[in-house]
Amino acid sequence: MDEALLRALIPTVIGVLVRRGADFATAEDAVQDALVEAVRRWPDSPPRDPRGWLTTVAWRKFLDTVRADTARRQREERADNEPAPGPGRAADDTLWLYFLCAHPSLTPASAVALTLRAVGGLTTRQIARAYLVPEATMAQRISRAKHTVSGVRLDQPGDVATVLRVLYLVFNEGYSGDVDLAGEAIRLTRQLAAATDHEEVAGLLALMLLHHARRPARTGPDGGLVPLAEQDRTLWDTRLIAEGVDILQTALARDRLGEYQAQAAIAALHADARTVEEADWVQIVEWYDELVHLTDSPVARLNRAVAVGQADGPRAGLAALADLDPSLPRYTAAAAYLHERDGDLPTAARLYTEAARSASTLPERDHLTRQAARLNTRLRG
């Protein structure tokens, strides 16, 4: 049985049910019930039209629920009288569901959970494991999120930027347990890109592919973080890079620049170089200028300072850093790196130690501790 196909059908089928008059929460439950039946019956008798089969069964499940609930009789009548939709709305329905799951009334965490469940078709258990929380907690989060958006009728198109932010959040959660969230985010963004024509969707997809291409090189055999400068670039996935660059170029050609396209452009320039030194740092700085202009993000300013350090030397990088707020995350780590390149090893060692103490992720802390240990060993020797 093709689980990938099954999961890809979920948003469409939920969309059809809602369009026929089902409320979102009940529709989502009905589709989950239909999936259970599909898992049981498809191996013996696979349907000729999986989408039609799933829609029919989910609709029946929905009607069962509604009929069992007398308080919902009115909605049943309305739903029964609604004509079945014609073909060709699948893309619209999917898009509708993306906007609903990323609705601004939801917190980012709820939006992420709801998207993974309703659009991605992951089970509550899988999502809970990916986020290292109990299944009951995740079930509550999803059920509250469904409740929050239950009355929302999206008559106008939703905000693409919100949807993209949710997908990028999923992507950045990376990998844990039995679900590869980065892979899942790419799958969903591909689906979104197929359903809509928007240059920033393409930009985000390109960015994800270019980052994902480097994943095999980002961690060492011991699970430790390998920084860009030390990555074995032969491990980068050239097929993903080519695809990402292709998508990016098409998006850039439309001349409507956005933050994801700018970030993807930076990732593409890294992907294009055989070594750190060979990268076109002057162009990378230019793209960071665009990114700062577009987002005014402190993180972009910090990364820009590091890029300036590569393009114009560590002194220039430190000067750029001096304009920024030292309480920014990773400020101290960046300062340590630039001081080391400038040859001031004692300062660099001290700053690496300080940065390790305030790191917020385990791989980052371990990496910074190793950098401090490396320099301190050299200074003693």
Partner 1 sequence: MAKYLLLKHYRGAPAPVNDVSMDQWTPAEVEAHVRYMEDFAARLEETGEYVDSQALSPQGTFVRYDGQGRPPVTDGPFAETKDLIAGWMVIDVDTYDRALELAGELSAAPGAGGRPIHEWLEVRPFLDPHPTTTE
Closer to partner 1 by Cβ: residue 176 or 377: 176
**Which residues, listed in sequence order, are joined to residue 219 by a DSSP beta bridge?**
225
Q: In the bound complex, what is the minimum distance in angstroms from residue 100's beta carbon to partner 1?
A: 19
Q: In the bound complex, what is the minimum distance in angstroms from residue 195's beta carbon to partner 1?
A: 24
Q: In the bound complex, what is the minimum distance in angstroms from residue 39's beta carbon to partner 1?
A: 27
Instruction: Report angle CA 64, 67, 68 to the nearest 5 degrees.
Output: 85
Closer to partner 1 by Cβ: residue 196 or 219: 219
The radius of gyration of the chain from alpha carbons, rounded to an integer in Å, stands at 24
Q: In the bound complex, what is the minimum distance in angstroms from residue 152's beta carbon to partner 1?
A: 19
Coil vs helix vs strand at 286: helix
Closer to partner 1 by Cβ: residue 136 or 194: 136
Residue by residue, DSSP assigns 169-238 as: HHHHT-EETTEEHHHHHHHHHHHHHHH---HHHHHHHHHHHHHHHTHHHHB-TTS-B--GGG--GGGS-H
**Which residues, listed in sequence order, are joined to residue 176 by a DSSP beta bridge?**
179
d(C-alpha 19, C-alpha 97), whole Å: 11
Cα 174 to its chain centre, rounded Å, is 8
Q: Which two tokens stand for residue 207?
A: 């960015």
Q: In the bound complex, what is the minimum distance in angstroms from residue 145's beta carbon to partner 1?
A: 9
| Residues within the interface to partner 1 (CB under 8 A) | 107-110, 131-134, 136-138, 140-141, 144, 171-176, 182, 211, 214, 218-219, 225, 227-228, 270, 299, 303, 359-365
Residues with Cβ within 8 Å of residue 337, at least 6 apart in sequence: 306, 309, 348
**Cα–Cα nearest to 190, from 204, 179, 177:** 204
Closer to partner 1 by Cβ: residue 21 or 174: 174
Closer to partner 1 by Cβ: residue 173 or 312: 173
Tell which phi-psi region holds residue 91, choosing left (phi > 0), alpha (psi between -120 and 50) or beta.
alpha
Closer to partner 1 by Cβ: residue 95 or 130: 130
Q: In the bound complex, what is the minimum distance in angstroms from residue 361's beta carbon to partner 1?
A: 4
Q: In the bound complex, what is the minimum distance in angstroms from residue 360's beta carbon to partner 1?
A: 6
Closer to partner 1 by Cβ: residue 4 or 299: 299
Contact (Cβ atoms closer than 8 angstroms) between residue 311 and residue 281 = yes
Q: In the bound complex, what is the minimum distance in angstroms from residue 344's beta carbon to partner 1?
A: 24
Closer to partner 1 by Cβ: residue 17 or 300: 300
